[in-house]
Chains A and B, each alone.
Chain A
């Protein structure tokens, strides 16, 4: 539904988004994560046709954002950062205005607004003036606006910013529900939000994709910590030669005990084989444990790596 291909945006000499490519399909909720200034908002603005890309292509429901911007906009519901709204209008009036702009036919407008109001929990405030609403309610009005024309794609820039914990829970449930038959792309800094809502994570750092993977793969721990008494270099070679091991890194060697970080190949668990081989070589293992890496660790890891690698390396995400 959302396709981005080598999408770039530069502002003068500053490269905000640099050749990013990803897809979001129907029924997927994708979290766009990244440190501040990584290019999350710019990416979303490129996808919603608010900004024209410097190079690359993007398409929503098959409509190119440059060639057919109006058709592309018709199939997306967008919640911009901070949910800007007209302060002098009333909630119902605002949603009616937005529905008219989004070409919701006159006969369907009333039920569409009623549904958006109900889904976003705005029934109590639907006749209030927007400027008098609290931050949380404004955010929900923005969300109601995004879904009022029942778009197949939703792009939400920090949808839960400014909400209280109960509202956050409601909005997350709503996003999960909306994501069942739509393509949803949302940005956030909150890791627990990603774990609660998203099926896939795209981490961007310095305008590039640092990581793009399904959440369950990220949770899968394939890193093991190994300590054994023996000469570090020899042990490392044996470990590296073990089937199912992708890479081995020596952490330290103290008092004849060497410790290693062992990364297993995807879907393999070489722990038993490793223990057998260590014992066979006369290096008794002292520790053999799976390291649990949280999403936060992966995030920090991906962002730091992207920062260290510099601009020349293409990332694994394609």
Chain B
């Protein structure tokens, strides 16, 4: 893993020297701004006892449609070029003929994607100190920390999936579509499945679907339920996908 810093530095440079990173960041900044506006607006109205605002982080992030929509679009957009671009331009040949292992390449690509993903979430964190100190709204920091951890492990998993599909093809669009479809299944379809099962009184299936639905997982984090099983699930999927990516990438050299 000695070459990871060099590979990672190049990857981040490539991100920030192109327009893509800034476009995505701008979009996220805009969504964070709208969500924060809405949150402040809701908080300044008189509250009922059982208001949804008991969990402001849910209102702000975890149940926000624009937030999830942006994540579903941004993760494929950020990860699609990681390996597909190298394959298309042929630079992968120069990379694989230096004493660098496939594992180092995959880990560097994944880390680069993860750092970019982290950068996307910064705008959301940026507003919170204002709410706390400026507006004197003393929300509970626990759920925010939990949400931070949950969103990070979720990002690790999502980015590993993006890297996986990018390693399979030399066409960035194909990689992006596959990643989007997979993430959509994990976030939205599992959630709908939970509703469907619940509607038919199949509680066990509903529970199972709710347990793997990313939307429900993140909502739980935002409510302050710090579930280590979810963290373990995210991390094990991430490690498995990265391992599979490395193996497939090594087996498909030159293709």
B65 interface residue per 8 A CB criterion: no
Q: Is the CB of B91 within 8 A of A88?
A: no
Q: Is the CB of B98 within 8 A of A84?
A: no
Q: Does A43 contact B (CB under 8 A)?
A: no
**Does A230 belong to the interface (CB within 8 Å)?**
no
| Chain A, 173-228, CB within 8 A of any chain B CB | none
Asked whether A74 is an interface residue with its Cβ less than 8 Å from the other chain, the reply is: yes
A84 CB, nearest partner CB in chain B, Å: 3
Which range contains the number of B residues in contact with the other chain? 20 to 34
Q: Is the CB of B10 within 8 A of A84?
A: no
Asked whether B207 is an interface residue with its Cβ less than 8 Å from the other chain, the reply is no
Query: A28: CB under 8 A from chain B?
Result: no
- Give the secondary structure class of B's interface: helix
Task: Find out whether the CB atom of A89 lies under 8 angstroms from the CB atom of B3.
Answer: no
Q: Does B90 contact A (CB under 8 A)?
A: yes
From known contacts A88-B17, A101-B3, infer whether A73 and B89 are also in contact, taking CB-CB under 8 Å: no
Within the complex, the shortest CB–CB distance from B169 to chain A, in Å, comes to 18
Interface of A is mostly: loop
**B244 at the binding interface (Cβ < 8 Å):** no
Check B98 against A73 for contact (C-beta < 8 Å): yes
A103 surroundings in chain B (CB, below 8 A): 2, 99
Contact of B145 with A by CB under 8 A: no
- Using CB atoms, name the residue of chain A closest to B95: A101
Q: A51-B254, A52-B253, A88-B13 are in contact. Are A101 and B100 (CB under 8 A)?
A: yes
Q: Which B positions have Cβ atoms within 8 angstroms of A? A: 2-3, 6-7, 9-10, 13-14, 17-18, 89-91, 93-101, 253-254
* Beyond known contacts A80-B94, A80-B97: 20 more, CB 8 A cutoff: A49-B96, A50-B93, A50-B254, A51-B253, A51-B254, A73-B98, A73-B99, A80-B93, A82-B90, A84-B89, A84-B90, A88-B14, A88-B17, A88-B18, A89-B13, A100-B3, A101-B7, A101-B95, A101-B98, A102-B99
